[in-house]
Structure 1
Amino acid sequence: MTSENPPANPWSDLERPPLNAAALRQALVRDGGLFREVEVVQATGSTNSDLAALAAAGKADEGAVLVAEEQTSGRGRLDRTWSAPARSGLFVSVLLRPADVPVERLGWLPLLAGVAAASAISRTAGIDTALKWPNDLLVAVGGEERKAGGILAERAGEDFVVLGMGINVSLKAEELPVPTAGSLALAGAVLHDRDPLLRAVLRSLEQWYVRWRDAAGDPAASGVQEAYAAGCATLGRRVRAELPGDRVLVGEAVALDGDGRLVVAAEGGGREAVGAGDVVHLRAES
């Protein structure tokens, strides 16, 4: 992978300095480690799409990391877009090749990434970060629950998975794409420097991924299932799950099953495991 030429004046926004690609490589790429290369580009449509294309062309292998200072066509679940001002967040994709993990356990990858990111942000930025099933990072802004990040895992050919993360770091209120969004800065983060934040997130991802991969993707043996449940703001909440086929399920989210699905105790009785769809947190009085 090759970086694009830097802009004429990368320090045009002194509040949002560029990432230090050389320092990131020095900190993250090591013998015996997961990460093999770290590239930073100034702008791209989607780091996930770019990394998937490189893998398909045989130009990238497991451990390749692609970071963009600005992402113009980022994607979330359900084909939602993800955009933010240049250098205001972390837009990163990692190429993984979990060859020894059964296909049916790959659904744990975005949940694993959520655990890794939330724990790293809480520790490094000094703010509580929670998880909304299946792939959102939540922070509190003015006492309200806001989405500050999202995770998307996509298959790339038969062997690879591209794991992408977008995290709002320094966005101001007037820069938020929607009223329900948030950022680490708005949540009172003690650190807005993206370099240490990115290092912390990727090191945490490496630790959790290696543990999960070495356990053949077993969510219980690797500790991922327990850690996700402990940090998941969805569990114990009244939710509305908008399911495929225009079906709606309302009830209490009570557990995660062994496949990473959300188990909902329906208001009409019975339990159902939700593996796909959109889940909305409902207020207790609704």
Structure 2
Amino acid sequence: MTPQPPENRDKDAGRWSDLGRPPLNAAALRRALVRPGSLWTSLDVVPATGSTNTDLAQRAARGEAAEGAVLVAEEQSAGRGRLDRAWSAPARSGLFFSVYLTPRVPVERWGWLPLLAGVATATAVSKVAGIDTALKWPNDLLVTSAGAAAGPAGERKAGGILAERAGDGVVVGTGLNVSLTAEELPVPTAGSLALAGAVSTDRDPLLRAVLRSLEEWYGAWQDAGGDPAASRLQEAYAAGCATLGRSVRAELPGGDDLTGEAVAIDGDGRLVLATANGVQRPVGAGDIVHLRPAPPAGTADGAGQQG
């Protein structure tokens, strides 16, 4: 074998310096997912980008993205959550991807797409990683930290979903912390599959499982004309939603808030709160700034609470 020049060896050393986080195998992913009859029509993996949602939305606006396009980044420098909140993680430590969908159902039912993606992701993660997952309405994936090195045991946010209108459809982006260590967590309330005791942090089978689950749920939802009850999406989301049954405070634009017990997810994907005066009031994802646990009776409003 011919020895490599020093500059090439240095380049390869940088690329493979974190052997516990190998790059995704784009060719293998395409062979497994992009095939005749599949929802997925293309799959691209880029080393780094600002935001896969932004990139795919721009392609859709230019008419360059067909339904089923998938864009994956090994690293994002400007990943976004709901309300443009930042999302960051080390390279190859998670799954950062967006898909383009053009639903053939009434537009007023498109608001179910981020909830559908949450159900699909939670289902796939539970099967492949072998851990318990839950959904925090409207767009977070929770895992249970094992404690010890991960910090205090409890529910932690390990993923988030962001859906945005683009072109003739919707770009749905997902960020999922896979192998982050406790020291790498962006905030104390975050978590990762590894810290939750995942049996595997291999991102290739995880991504395949999430996309196959998403295809399955999306197909059932479309076959039902976008009806969340007939497709069993509403039932599945409610069954996996950790928010239900808890007292929460919804912080609304303008500084107002609404406190009550989360009792249901209605047919429009809104969270229904039962207030102290006996009124049940639905709130939509676009109506809230934060959804937090309600403070215990007798404490200062919001004391010690975290989003």
TM-score by length of 1: 0.94
The change in CA–CA distance for 1:283 and 1:187 in structure 2 (over 3 A counts) is farther
1:169 corresponds, among 178, 184, 204, to 178
CA deviations 1:167-225 (Å, max 9, x no partner) are 00000011011000000000000010000000000100000011111211110011100
* 2:259/2:294 contact within 8 Å kept: no
Using the TM superposition, name which of 126-135 and 49-58 deviates more: 49-58
> Is residue 2:193 matched to residue 1:189?
no
The 5-angstrom pairing of residues 1-286 of structure 1 reads: 8-9=11-12, 10-98=15-103, 100-141=104-145, 142=147, 143-157=153-167, 159-275=168-284, 276-277=287-288, 278-282=290-294
Partners of 2:92 and 2:294 in 1: CA distance: 33
Specify every segment of 5 or more residues in structure 1 that has no aligned partner in the other structure, as ranges. Answer: 1-6
SS at match of 2:186: coil
Q: Map Cα deviations across residues 28-71 of structure 1 (whole Å, 9 max, x no partner).
A: 11111100010000000000000011111121110000000001
1:185 is paired with a residue whose SS is coil
Count of equivalent residues? 278
In structure 1, what is the Cα distance between the partners aligned to 2:85 and 2:277? 31
Alpha-carbon shift at residue 284 of structure 1 (Å): 6.2
CA distance in 1, matches of 2:278, 2:65: 49
Partner amino acid, structure 2, of 1:225: Q
Asked if the contact 1:238–1:284 (Cα under 8 Å) also holds between the matched residues in 2, the reply is no
CA RMSD of aligned residues (A): 1.3
Q: Which letter does structure 2 place at the counterpart of 1:149?
A: G
For residues 198-254 of structure 1, the C-alpha deviation after alignment (integer angstroms, 9 at most, x for no partner) is 000010000001111121111001110000000000000111111122211111000
**CA deviation profile, 1:50-109 (whole Å, cap 9, x unmatched):** 0011111121110000000001101100110101000000000000001x2111111100
The amino acid of 1:20's aligned partner reads: N
2:236 and 2:63 map into 1 onto residues whose CA distance is: 35
Query: Quick one: distance in 2 between partners of 1:281 and 1:74?
Result: 26
Moved over 6 A (4+): 283-286
Q: Partners of 1:119 and 1:185 in 2: how far apart? A: 17
Residue type of the partner of 2:292? V
- Alpha-carbon distance in 1 for matches of 2:24, 2:261: 42
Instruction: Give the distance between the partners of 2:71 and 2:110, measured in 1 at CA.
Output: 21
Q: Partners of 2:296 and 2:255 in 1: how far apart?
A: 24
* Residue in structure 1 matched with residue 3 of structure 2 by the alignment: none
Q: State the SS of the aligned residue for 2:254.
A: coil
Question: How many percent identity over aligned positions?
Answer: 73
Distance 1:8 1:96, change over 3 A: farther
Larger radius of gyration: 2
Alignment partners' CA distance in 2, 1:187 and 1:97? 34
Q: Distance in 2 between matches of 1:258 and 1:179?
A: 34
Write out per-residue CA displacement over residues 84-143 of structure 1, whole angstroms, 9 at most, x where no aligned residue.
000000000000001x21111111000000000001000100000000001100011123
Aligned residue identity for 2:251 = E
More helix by share: 2
Partner amino acid for 2:108? E
Question: Partner of 1:3 in structure 2?
Answer: none
Equivalent-residue separation in structure 2 for 1:70 and 1:136 (angstroms):
20
Go from structure 1 to structure 2 and tell me whether the alpha carbon gap of 1:34 and 1:177 turns closer, same or farther (over 3 Å shift).
same
